[in-house]
Amino acid sequence: MSAVRSLTRGRGRRLTGRTRLLISAATTGLLLVGIILCSLFIGEQGLSVKLELRDLPPSLQHLFGTDWLGRDMFSRTVQGLTLSVAVGLAGAAGSTVIAMMMGLAAAFLGRMVDRVVTWLIDATLSVPHLVMLILIAFVSGGGIQGIMIGIVFTHWPSLARVIRAEALSVVTADYVAVSRGFGRTRWWIMRHHLVPHLLPQLFIGFLLLFPHAVLHEAAITFLGLGFSPHQPAIGIILSESMRYLSSGMWWLAVFPGLALLVTVRAFDMLGHSLQRLIDPKHSRT
Amino acid sequence: MKNGIEMRFNTRSIMMTSVLLLLVISLIAACSSPKATERESQRRSDKLVVAIGSEPEDGFDPTLGWGRYGSPLFQSTLLKRDDQLNVTNDLAESYEISSDGLIWTVKLREDVQFSDGQPLTPDDVKYTFETTANSGSAIDLTNLKAVELDGNNIHFKLGKPQSTFLNELTTLGIVPSHAHGADYASNPVGSGPFKFVQWDRGQQLLVESNPSYYGDKPSFHHITFLFLNEDAALAAAKAGTVDMAYIPSSFSKQEVPGMRLEALQTVDNRGITFPYAEPGGKTEEGYPIGNAVTADLAIRQAINMAMDREKLVEGILEGYGTPAYTSVDGLPWWNEDTVIADSDIEGAKKLLAEAGWSDSNGDGVLEKNGLIAEFPLIYPSGDTLRQSLALAASEMMKEIGIRMTAAGKSWEEIEREMHASAVLLGWGSHDPSELYALYASKYSGVDYYNTGYYSNQQVDGYMEKAMAALTIEEAMAYWKQSQWDGTTGSSAKGDAPWAWLVNIKHLYLVDDALDIGSPRIQPHRHGWPVTDNIASWKWKE
């Protein structure tokens, strides 16, 4: 981001929101395609143990170095990112769906439902995300499925709150009152006035939930929940690397960590540029 | 919308955090500057600080299992093993076995006192053995029918001859019947070389030498045992705050100025136990027994043949280990003929082909009558070393067309699946009854012993004879035959119910000035086996 700004500052003008969006969308898209292609290309082969190649620092053959069993860290990182992205997409999508249903229900189904939904949102937000996540993942049987369920059921409240507020403002708007006066049903209003209005919000919400979901997946695998410890998940890779940092094997942590950071940051940027474009009120100034 | 979705990442803070993280990491990596100043002053004092292992959670009560793998420190035993594993007297003046093997008589020395000043009497011995037998702990005294006293002689009456009863006499620390209350485990009194001072759970144990100890006085008056994890132990060693620290082999390349690395020979082994039975059975708890692939002798033998144990030692243990061929390598009851020529890929392939295994669909994995040569290899997920061994071993077996799928599981899951899957387990004891428990058919499915339901009447017969033997020499001969008698046995040459992989050397960073004598071959690392000869540790002149 700052690189982009310093590039443009010299010429005395800022990038427009649209250009910025295009750039971040392109970067993110490239990153995603890159990760998926790489992981398809690597497959199981790249993860095999080669004891004679262990503890190698980064080189041209092994871009990210190798670990204490001679496994190529680039392959492991890419595999880990694929898993993170998959969990992130599924988790964010699930959360978005729940958020939409909650928000709509609160706005449309009367005051009682609104109270319940608001209470639910507050209750979920009042417990630290990670604690809830661990509990839910544990109860639902652990593994990748447990983590996904956990993410889905912990990430919806903040978005639900936004959707609820938006929906309430639409419901009380004049054109909706007119619509109602024409005898349109609630269902009709929901489909024709509400959903089109809320879709961009949902999409941005989804994009902004994604990095969160990815980071939480990394956090929970870091804590050792869910997978066999030899499966490449970014969190597992990072927590394993701790044992070897004091022996000077910095590459075990730095590259996977940076890869996670870049992925998360890319999606975050995309979400925010989109948000600024769609919703001028939310722009930075 | 200002307070809309509160999940923004502040660009600057993320960048700052990552830069900081990088800095910290490189600092940790670069920072290995020694601080040996404290070390000098510690030397030649009568204090010793060690970080040699984890805390005994159940405390220090021998009747509950304390001291099974190493010196009980606070208590003393009737007999003991010297550094060559020969049996010598400790509290006993002499011992003898009746001609039918059913009565063991120990003559107790009379001059021994507990650290609280009370004399140690035959009643205390009787009390200790009876309490232990009834405690339901890991110590198996079910064969001990009665303990009878006659003056200073103690008669142990057995239900049937048991040559391994010797081991109970060498490991069970005698507790005082007058001071063995509910809090004994956290406040032990005994007649050993050291007496208890203080135990801060999760932190440290303080002991001091026992002035009334009857044997050679230890040269250290105060010893502090710190309970540190491996990283913290290494850090403490580098900082000069401990005189001795246990480290895993992954830390072995690090030089610590003022300290040397002692690699102790062990029978602390790791190996793969295979389900021996055909599938179909169930345990009493309803867990499945048996696996069709590993029930095939050719599969088990081929894995043993193809395994490159030297490479595992070099690649995973950084050279600090030895190839393992049985569970008792290097012990007096080990049969040296069990050593096989391994990393023999061609031989293994030939063996499998002769047994009818072939790769008919070209996917790299063998088949036989529709059965695919694949099975799970489970390792406990918290154990990095077993994980590494499992992954490397699986990789090696790909070459001969056997697919072992490594999977990390919790111990609860392992208990459910270990009779139908291969498991990476570890053993190693100074007691030959462990050999019995691992291979005797009557130990099938008992605890973690014969998990694969191995059963060979010939082997059972040898081991029963070894148990019933009246002399150590006779027992040794039978133990050896049970492993390999020329035609059958429990080793890889015979039925190969296990593929033993490596014996792990125990690594200790020891102060250059500290002499820890010549420790014996070390057993599986529960407790503190290295303390066996702690009374002979001293500063070098």
Say whether A212 and B25 touch across the interface (CB within 8 A): no
* Alpha-carbon gap, residue B70 to B532, rounded angstroms: 5
- How much is the average pLDDT of A56-73? 90
Residue A3: the pLDDT is 46
Whether chain A has a CB inside 8 Å of the CB on B405: the answer is no
Per-residue pLDDT of A243-269, as tens digits, reads: 888 778 899 999 999 999 998 998 888
Q: Please report the domains of chain A, with CATH numbers, ordered by start residue.
A: 18-42+73-284 (1.10.3720.10)
User: Which of A1, A69, A154, A265 is the best residue to mutate to test the B interface, defined by the most B CB atoms within 10 Å of its own CB?
Assistant: A69
Smallest CA-to-CA distance from B190 within B58, B77, B53, B69 is with B77
Compare A273 and A43 and report the one with higher pLDDT.
A273
Q: Above pLDDT 90, what percent of chain B?
A: 69
Q: Measured between beta carbons, which residues in chain B are less than 8 angstroms from residue A265?
A: 9, 14
* Alpha-carbon gap, residue A171 to B188, rounded angstroms: 75
DSSP state of B450: B
- pLDDT tier, B528 (very low <50, low <70, confident <90, very high otherwise): confident
Å from B126 to nearest chain A CA? 48
Per-residue pLDDT of A152-170, as tens digits, reads: 999 999 899 999 998 888 8
Residue A6: the pLDDT is 46
Nearest-CB residue to A51 (from B22, B253, B392):
B392
Please report which residue ranges of chain A form alpha helices under DSSP H: 2-9, 17-42, 73-108, 110-126, 129-139, 143-154, 157-171, 174-181, 186-189, 195-222, 234-245, 251-278
Residues 375-404 in B contacting A (C-alpha not used; CB under 8 Å): 381-382, 384, 387-388, 390-392, 394-395, 398
User: Which of B7, B14, B32, B417 is the best residue to mutate to test the A interface, defined by the most A CB atoms within 10 Å of its own CB?
Assistant: B7
In this predicted structure, the answer to whether residue B271 has a pLDDT above a threshold of 60 is yes
Residue B355: the pLDDT is 95
| The two three-digit tokens of residue A254, written as one number | 């730095």
Dihedral-angle region of residue B65 (phi above 0 means left; psi in -120 to 50 means alpha; beta otherwise):
left
Nearest-CA residue of chain A relative to B248? A243
- pLDDT-wise least confident of A224-228, A281-285, B48-52, B164-168: A281-285
Residue B536: the pLDDT is 87
Residues 211-240 in B contacting A (C-alpha not used; CB under 8 Å): 231, 234-235
Summary mean pLDDT of chain B? 89
Nearest-CA residue of chain A relative to B6? A158
Compare B154 and B19 and report the one with higher pLDDT.
B154
Per-residue pLDDT of B195-210, as tens digits, reads: 999 999 999 999 999 9
User: Which of A66, A246, A252 is the best residue to mutate to test the B interface, defined by the most B CB atoms within 10 Å of its own CB?
Assistant: A246
Give the β-pairing of B498-504 and B269-273.
Answer: antiparallel
Nearest-CA residue of chain B relative to A163? B4
* Alpha-carbon gap, residue A97 to B421, rounded angstroms: 41
Q: Please report the domains of chain B, with CATH numbers, ordered by start residue.
A: 1-65+192-263+506-541 (3.40.190.10), 75-190 (3.40.190.10), 269-504 (3.10.105.10)
In this predicted structure, the answer to whether residue B534 has a pLDDT above a threshold of 60 is yes
* Per-position b or e across B54-92, b if 16+ CB within 10 A of its CB: ebbeebbbbbbbbbbbbbbbbbbbbbbbeeeeebeebbb
Rounded to the nearest angstrom, the gap between the alpha carbon of residue A43 and the centroid of all alpha carbons in its chain is: 24
Per-residue pLDDT of B113-143, as tens digits, reads: 999 999 999 999 999 999 999 887 777 888 9
Complex ipTM over 0.85? no
Per-residue pLDDT of B417-475, as tens digits, reads: 999 999 999 999 888 989 999 999 999 998 899 999 999 999 999 999 999 998 888 99
Prediction pTM value = 0.83
